[in-house]
Amino acid sequence: MALLFSVNGTLYPMTSKIHIHNEADVMVITVNNPPINAGSTEVRKGLLDAIQFFRNDPHSSAAVIIGAGSTFIAGSDIKEFSEPLAEPHLPTIIAAIENCPKPVVCALHGAALGGGFELALGCDGRIALEGTVLGLPEVTLGIIPGAGGTQRLPRLIGIEKSIELICGGIRISASEALKLGILNKLVNHDLQTQAISFARSLLGEKARIRDLDPPHAQAASVLAASQKALKAGKNRPNIHKAIEMIGNVMTKPIDEGLAIEREAFQNLRLGIEAKALRHQFFAERKLFKALSSGDAEPKVIEQIAIIGAGTMGSGIAIACLTAGYTVLLIDQNEVALKNGAQKVKDFYESRVQSGKMAIDKAALILKLFTYSMQWRDIAAADLIIEAVFEDIDIKQAVFQKIEAHANPSALLASNTSYLDIDVIAVKISNPARFFGLHFFSPAQVMKLIEIIRCKCSSPVAIASGLQFAKRLGKMPVISTNSFGFIGNRIYAAYRRQCEFMLEEGAYPKQIDQALEDYGFAMGPFAVADLSGLDIAWAMRQSLAGNRNPKHRYVSIPDTLCLAGRLGRKAGAGYYLYPTGEKLGAVDPAVHSIIDAASAAKGVARREFTPQEIVQRVLLTMSNEIAHLVAEKVVSNVTDCDIALVNGYGFPRWCGGPVFFAKELGQEKLNLELKKLATLSGPGFVIANTNALFDALEE
C-alpha cells in the first residue's frame, strides 16, 4: 500500500519497501525489502519517489540511503531479468541523485553488490561498516554492469583495476575499498549516526564521480589486464564487452559511455548465455532449501574422522580442515597413513609458500589435524567418513570396525561412486544414521558432492549431510541409491554415446575437440586417458555377466586396454604420450584399431560435424536425466545440471542438459530422441520426458 507525502501541495507516493524519516536536517531513506533488499521494481520506484521528495523538501539539506536488516542492497531482483525491465530503471534513480542539488550519501553494511554498488557509486559519498562486502558480480550471470559501473568505477580506481574487479566479478572487503578510494569512510559502529554526520560534513556540496577525470593508464598495462581477464573469463562475449565498456571511459564523454553500456547490458541480458547462467543461479538457490524447511534439525558436527588415507581420504581431510572442522585421519597401513598426512601438511605449506594463506592461519588449521592407526580414536567423532578402496566386502568390513568403536550417536557416511550403498548398510546395526557422501577428486578442489539417501537414512542424517556440505562450500545434490547415482550415471550414458560415434566414423580427437569447443573442460577420451582406462574396464568386466547380448556394445576401449594402452600413466591410451608430455598426441595406431572395429561389425564409417557430435551428447544426457527423474533418483531436476557443471566440466554458460531440453521444448526433444535411438541401436531406451517437463514446471 502506497504512503503519500505532501510537499508544497505535491503528493509523492512511497512504497512499503522504502521508509523515510528526518534526523533534523538530514533525510534518512531506508530500503526495506528482506531478505537481501534486492533492487526490485518496487524498490526502484520508491527510491525515485524518495529522491524527488528529498529534492523538494526545504527542511532537508542532505540525505542518507541505508538498508534495513542485515545488508544494504545485495543485488538486483534476478527474476526480473528474464522479462522486459519495468520503469524506472536504476540509471534513472542514479541520474536523479546526481542531478539533485543536495548531497546524497550511501551508508553500506552487509553487502553492496551489483546494482547496490552502482547506486552507491552514483552518490556523493560512501561510508561503510567494517565487514561490508562490495562488488560488481554481473559477469557471473553473463551480463555486465548496466547502471554505470563500467563508467564510474574506473574514474575512481583506474582502468586496470576496474578490468580486474569487473571482469572477475570480484567481491572486495570494505577495508580494501577504502584503500582503493571507493569509500570515503569506514566505521565499526553506529553506521546510521555516523552517515548522518558525514552527510552534514559535505556542507551541501555535490561530489559526483561522473565529474572526475579517469586516472591515466598505460596502453601496455591495460592490454595485460585485458588479456588476463579474458583468459580467466574463458573468453566469453560479456568479458569482451565489459573490457570495451571500461575502455570507453578513456575516449568518450560519460553520458555517451553510459548509454552504450546500457544498450550492451540489455542485449546481453536477453542473450542465451545470460539465460543459461540465470538457470544455474536459480538451480543453486534450491540446493539448501531442505535446511530451511524445518522438517529435520541437522546434527551439530565439529569433529570428523576419515577412514582411508589415500588420495581421496587426504583430499577430504583438507576440505574439512579448511572449513574449520577438527579432523582425524585413520589408516591401518602405516606407510599410507604417513603419506596421506604428509599430503595434508604439504597442501597448507604450498598455500603459505604461494602467498595464498598466512603462516599463522595454516598453523591454526594444522592444530586441528591428527592421524592415527588406532580404531579407538574415532570415539569422539560426530561424523565418520569411509574413503577406502571401492570394494563392497572391504567397505562392509570397515563399517563393522567403525561400529565397534564409534560413538553410537555419530553419523556414518561412505564415499562411494558406484557401489550399492544399501548393501553396505546391511552390516550397520543402526542404518538410520548412515548415508552416502560421494566426493569428487580432488576433494579439496571439486565443488560437487553427492549425498546419497539409503533406504534407511533418517531425515536428520540427510539434513546433516547438507549442512556439512554447505560449510565445506560444496554444491550438494541429493540422490537415492542407484547405480552411478546422478553424475556418473549421466556421464556413463554420455561416454557410451561418444563410443558409438567412434564406431560410426569419428575419431577421439574430433569428438574431444567438438566438445571442448562447445565449452567442456575436457573431452571424454582425454578424460579417460587422464583417469586411466583400466578403471572403467574393471567396471565393465564386473557387469559383463548382466549385459544383454542383444544390446549394442563397443569393444574399442577393451581392445585398447588389452593392448596395454591404459592412458597417460602408461604412455598411451586413446592418445600417445611421449615421455614427460601431458598433452596427448593423435596416434594412427588408435585409428587403425577403431577402423578395424567398425569393419568387424560391418559399419560403413561416415563424416561427423562438430554440431552433430555436440547435439548427440546433449540429447543423450537429457534422455538419461529424464530416466533419473522418472525413477525418482533425483528430486530436483535442475540438480542434474548442477552436477554436470560442478563435477564433469560442462560449460556453466550453456546451462546444462536440462536447460538444453527446456529450450528445445518437449515436442522437438521427443522427435530428436527418436532419431537418436535409431542411430544408437539396441539398448538405447527413450525416456518418458513427461516427468522431466512436469518437474521443470514445479
Name the strand (E) or helix (H) holding 20. Answer: strand 18-23
Per-residue pLDDT band at 13 (split at 50, 70, 90): low
Residue given cell 554505470 in the structure block: 148
Residue given cell 582425524 in the structure block: 328
DSSP one-letter string for 194-222 = HHHHHHHHTTT----GGGSPPPP--HHHH
Tell me the H-state helices in 455-584: 459-472, 487-504, 508-518, 524-531, 533-543, 556-562
Amino acid identity of residue 119, one-letter, is: L
The CATH homologous superfamily to which domain 14-269 belongs is 2-enoyl-CoA Hydratase; Chain A, domain 1 (3.90.226.10)
User: How many CB atoms sit inside 10 A of residue 545's CB?
Assistant: 6
C-alpha distances in Å from residue 310, one per residue of 19, 571, 644: 58, 23, 25
**pLDDT beyond 80 at 331:** yes
CATH class of 301-481: alpha beta
Domain 488-697 part of CATH 1.10.15.40 = no
SS3 (DSSP) at 613: helix
Q: Express each pLDDT in 568-622 by its tens digit.
A: 999 999 999 988 788 899 999 999 999 999 999 999 999 999 999 999 999 999 9
List CB contacts of 694: < 8 A, sequence separation 6 or more: none
The percent of residues in the chain predicted with pLDDT above 90, rounded, is 88
* Alpha carbons 411 and 183: distance in angstroms, whole number: 47
C-alpha distances in Å from residue 694, one per residue of 286, 480, 487, 661, 662: 17, 20, 21, 12, 11
Cβ atoms 59, 53 nearer than 8 A:
no
List CB contacts of 313: < 8 A, sequence separation 6 or more: 306, 307, 329, 331, 340, 387, 388
Q: What is the pLDDT of residue 676?
A: 98
Per-residue pLDDT band at 2 (split at 50, 70, 90): very low
Q: Where are the domains of the chain?
A: 14-269, 301-481, 488-697
SS3 (DSSP) at 590: helix
Q: What is the pLDDT of residue 11?
A: 47
Q: Of 206, 25, 26, which is closest to residue 101 (Cα–Cα)? A: 206
Q: Express each pLDDT in 343-365 by its tens digit.
A: 999 999 999 999 999 999 999 99
Per-residue pLDDT band at 14 (split at 50, 70, 90): low
SS3 (DSSP) at 435: strand
Q: Of 144, 134, 46, which is closest to residue 96 (Cα–Cα)? A: 46
Q: Express each pLDDT in 152-206 by its tens digit.
A: 999 999 999 999 999 999 999 999 999 999 999 999 999 999 999 999 999 889 9
Catalytic residues: 118, 138
List CB contacts of 399: < 8 A, sequence separation 6 or more: 386, 412, 414, 424, 427, 428, 434
Q: Based on the number of CB atoms within 10 Å of its own CB, is 539 exposed (0-12), middle (13-18) or buried (19 or more)?
A: middle
C-alpha cell at 235: 573468453
C-alpha cell at 675: 532419431
* Alpha carbons 134 and 173: distance in angstroms, whole number: 6
Q: Cα 118 to the chain's mean position, in Å?
A: 24
Cβ atoms 62, 195 nearer than 8 A:
no
**pLDDT beyond 50 at 9:** no
Long-range CB pairs of 318-321 (<8 Å, 24+ gap) are 318/343, 318/344, 318/347, 318/348, 318/443, 318/444, 319/439, 319/443, 319/444, 319/472, 319/474, 320/472, 321/365, 321/366, 321/368, 321/369
Amino acid identity of residue 614, one-letter, is: V
**What is the reported pTM?**
0.91
Q: Express each pLDDT in 237-252 by its tens digit.
A: 999 999 999 999 999 9
When pLDDT is averaged across residues 687-693 and rounded to a whole number, the result is 94
